[in-house]
Amino acid sequence: MNIKDQGIILSVRKYGESSVIVKIFSKEHGIYSGFIRGALSKKNSAIYQISNLVEFVWTAKNSDNLGFFRVELMKSFLAEILSNQLKLNCLNAAVSLIESNILERESITDLFEKLLELQNSLVLSDEIFLKEYIEFEILLLQILGYGIDLSCCAVTGVYQDLYYVSPKSGRAVSREVGVKYHDKLLKLPNFLVNDLAEIDKNDLLAGLDLTEFFISKYLYQSKELPRPRLNIRNLV
């Protein structure tokens, strides 16, 4: 059985003297794991880094086996952001969230494209990468069945002046309705409902708090979030 695709490396685990077991989130086929022989040589080590975009062929006798990878590097992201701790933690957090919550061999092309969009934003932009990161987490929640509904006010159905999110329902609430319950609601950053809105630090922090609340509630419950995700807010 052969699968040919492109994908993003999620994890690399040493196996024996010079081989590794690699987990790749592919565009069309979901997450696959496989052996790569000789990956730890000086010539090849730079290829097998978390977040690298690669072309690969996965081969196995049948679909239930671990299989083997042949990999060619398309683009490396890690080296370009190593000096920026905030970007590095965003990258590692996104990869960790996918590896921890997405089942293997479940094709989710939208999430793959969003992760790739985020990684490109981390390299190219110093302005919008946190917005991209927050939108990545919202999409992850939606794909896993815990979507946040920001389309209209949960109480009145109005589309304007959405200012809060209910922690119980995950639905937006207008400023007028929510002001009486201000301390019990989550702040909705304007950039999530208005593409033309200016983005400031307070809105970014509100966005991170919003997605962290629902990720903790639904995906991790009593477990601690991945350390890179916990680091992001402190670095903003």
List the CATH number of the domain containing 32: 2.40.50.140
pLDDT in tens, 203-215: 999 999 999 999 9
pLDDT number for residue 1: 86
Query: In this predicted model, which residue has the larger pLDDT, 38 or 156?
Result: 156
Q: Is the pLDDT of residue 44 over 90?
A: no
> Could you give the CA distance from residue 31 to residue 10 in angstroms, rounded to a whole number?
9
pLDDT in tens, 160-179: 999 999 999 999 999 999 99
Same structural domain for residues 201 and 125? yes
Pairing of strands 68-75, 172-174: unpaired
For range 91-100, the mean pLDDT: 97
Structure token digits, residue 232: 């992001």
Same structural domain for residues 111 and 38? no
Closest CA to 31 of 112, 114, 87, 110: 112
What's the total number of domains in the chain? 2
Q: Report phi then psi at 178, rounded to 5.
A: -85, -15
* Domain limits for position 143: 79-150+188-235
Read off the pTM: 0.93
Q: Is the pLDDT of residue 43 over 80?
A: no
Within 10 Å of residue 26's Cβ, how many Cβ atoms? 22
Q: Is the pLDDT of residue 41 over 80?
A: no
